[in-house]
Amino acid sequence: MVTRPAHFGVNKVRLGIRRGGLRLADTTPGLLRAWARVADGTWLGLVAFTVPTGNGQGRLPVEQWCPQHALSPQNPSTSSRH
């Protein structure tokens, strides 16, 4: 017999994020952590970034593998970091 952990299935996403949904259509700055070559010769970048909610009231930190064509260098003229 297999039992599931007590926390399994519990929604741990904050209410502000659930209520506003996630805004995924925008371009967002991120931090490229690593590159990995895929067996078919393409490249993936491991990127850490924050996804804003649709209502602007929350943010969800994310780290995921993204295809190379979805990534671009940060434009220094629009950077808020110096």
- Do the beta carbons of residue 77 and residue 47 sit within 8 Å? no
pLDDT of amino acid 11? 60
* In-domain check, residue 78: no
User: Is residue 52 scored above 50 in pLDDT?
Assistant: yes
User: Is residue 81 scored above 70 in pLDDT?
Assistant: no
Number of domains in the chain: 1
- Do the beta carbons of residue 32 and residue 68 sit within 8 Å? no
Chain centroid to Cα 54, Å, comes to 15
pLDDT of amino acid 7? 61
pLDDT of amino acid 30? 94
* In-domain check, residue 19: no
Question: 61 is in which domain, residue-wise?
Answer: 31-73
User: Is residue 40 scored above 70 in pLDDT?
Assistant: yes
Q: What is the pTM of this model?
A: 0.66
